[in-house]
Amino acid sequence: MTFVAKPKVHHPRLPLNDIGLTRRDYEGSVSTLCAGCGHDSVSAAIVQACAELSIPPHRFAKVSGIGCSSKTPSYFLSKSHGFNSVHGRMPSIATGANLANRELYTIGISGDGDSASIGLGQFSHIVRRRINMAYIVDNNGTYGLTKGQFSATNDKGSTSKRGAPNLYEPIDLVSLAIQIGASFVARSFSGDKKQLVPLIKAALMHKGMAFIDVISPCVAFNNHNGSTKSYDYVREHRETVVAADYVPHAEEITADYEPGTTERINMPDGSILQLHKLAQDYDPHDRVAALHYVQSRQAEGEVVTGLLYLDPNPMDCHDILGTVDTPLNQLNEADLCPGNAALGSVNASFR
């Protein structure tokens, strides 16, 4: 950690985004995590993604649970809304926030302990409910904050820093998310911002539950030779199947890819998501095949990354519930309590 605050001065030629802000305007306070923690890179990627999207910082809501990962919302978007909740309970808060104000861009930050151990129930149900948010797990295979116990995503047979093996099967959050209703599922690596930043942008602009599992090494407790979540292991065993590229305006598409390898998806706001297939036969719209591929590679110790699954017809909870377009927190008393007559007719409709 650092005691010295990051100086406010910035590079004299730092680019401005469409609303005249620099990337530095999206930062938070200085991190208190261990030097070299992957989580800090994820925060930096979020900062860059939000700045590049040119969304004003106050339009974001950041919510988290407990853990080193869940501390990170302090380190980005200091001018946004935030709630640091209790262990494993981020999904409840995120659900409430999104129901109350559907216009905010909701970023949920959690850890593998927070989401796969204590919070697995909440995780499952927020995914099923398809809350419109970017749900990011900083996955280091350990409880960093409580000094390095195995978490539920730690691979069987991988060891602790002292050499003791993990005896339990891992929970794969990506597979679970694909299975139970997430419409955007990706895996990435904190050490690869080129891949991660476009994924975060796409996740934020995606309408529905967008889940990203980011392998984010814990330098203090899980970056040793027996770990499958270390910088070295991930770099050696990583395979990217689909690279995403978020393009804010259609006319900006310049790069030419080999025909048949690139797919363009129109996003609700007029922007475009380009998918570049790096693995020949991988189809990111086929749920069952995606699950199969991820699982079979995992069985061989490989880590599949990139955009793994994208629902061609996504829906979010507001679509499912049929809520009004106006955010609920902006409705006035008359709208919310339309009176006896209205209640009568509602009741009548059920008779």
Ligand X SMILES: Cc1ncc(C[n+]2csc(CCOP(=O)(O)OP(=O)(O)O)c2C)c(N)n1
- What's 227's DSSP letter? -
Q: Which residues contact 20 (CB under 8 A, 6 or more apart)?
A: none
Q: Token pair for residue 81?
A: 């809304």
| Part in contact with ligand X (CB under 6 A); list of ranges 105-113, 229-237, 269-277, 318-326 | 105-113
Question: Contact, 152 vs 210, CB < 8 A?
Answer: no
Residue type, 157: G
Q: Which residues contact 68 (CB under 8 A, 6 or more apart)?
A: 33, 34, 37, 39, 111, 138, 144, 145, 218
| Part in contact with Mg ion (CB under 5 A); list of ranges 139-147, 157-165, 177-185, 186-194 | 139-147
Report the relative pairing of strands 238-247 and 303-310 from DSSP bridges: parallel
Told to check if 57 binds ligand X by CB under 6 A, we report no
Smallest CA-to-CA distance from 137 within 98, 190, 94 is with 190
Place of tokens 């509602």: 346
**Least distance (Å) from Mg ion to the CB of residue 133?**
20
Nearer to Mg ion, 183 or 188 (CB): 188
Told to check if 223 binds ligand X by CB under 6 A, we report no
Q: Which of 23, 26, 28, 37 binds ligand SF4 (CB under 6 A)?
A: 37
Measuring CA to CA, how many Å separate 138 from each of 43, 58, 149?
A: 10, 23, 16
Q: Is residue 325 classed as helix, strand or coil in its secondary structure?
A: coil
| Part in contact with another protein (CB under 8 A); list of ranges 51-59, 82-90, 216-224, 250-258 | 216-224
Nearer to ligand X, 143 or 309 (CB): 143
Half-sphere exposure of 201 toward its Cβ, with a 13 Å CA cutoff?
27
Nearer to ligand X, 151 or 195 (CB): 151
Nearer to ligand X, 48 or 142 (CB): 142
Q: Which of 26, 28, 44, 200 binds another protein (CB under 8 A)?
A: 44
Nearer to Mg ion, 98 or 140 (CB): 140
Question: Contact, 215 vs 138, CB < 8 A?
Answer: no
Nearer to ligand SF4, 236 or 335 (CB): 236
Question: Contact, 118 vs 89, CB < 8 A?
Answer: no
Residues in region 156-195 near ligand SF4 by CB under 6 A: none
Told to check if 172 binds ligand X by CB under 6 A, we report no
**Least distance (Å) from ligand X to the CB of residue 170?**
13
Smallest CA-to-CA distance from 140 within 105, 103, 115 is with 115
Q: Which of 34, 120, 278, 328 binds ligand SF4 (CB under 6 A)?
A: 34
**Least distance (Å) from another protein to the CB of residue 19?**
20
Told to check if 212 binds ligand X by CB under 6 A, we report no
Told to check if 195 binds another protein by CB under 8 A, we report no
Told to check if 111 binds Mg ion by CB under 5 A, we report yes
Rg (CA), the chain: 21
**Least distance (Å) from Mg ion to the CB of residue 168?**
15
Nearer to Mg ion, 111 or 306 (CB): 111
Q: Which of 220, 242, 291, 303 binds ligand SF4 (CB under 6 A)?
A: 220
Q: Which of 28, 38, 144, 284 binds ligand X (CB under 6 A)?
A: 144
Question: Contact, 181 vs 314, CB < 8 A?
Answer: no
- Kindly provide the residue ranges of all beta strands, DSSP E only, lying in the chain, ordered along the sequence: 60-64, 81-84, 105-111, 133-139, 142-143, 149-150, 184-189, 209-215, 238-247, 262-266, 272-277, 303-310
Nearer to ligand X, 27 or 112 (CB): 112
User: Footprint of ligand X on this chain (CB under 6 A)?
Assistant: 66-69, 87, 111-114, 118, 138, 140, 142-146, 151
User: Footprint of another protein on this chain (CB under 8 A)?
Assistant: 2-4, 6-14, 24, 31, 34-38, 40-41, 43-44, 190-191, 193, 217, 219, 223, 231-232, 235
User: Footprint of Mg ion on this chain (CB under 5 A)?
Assistant: 111-113, 140
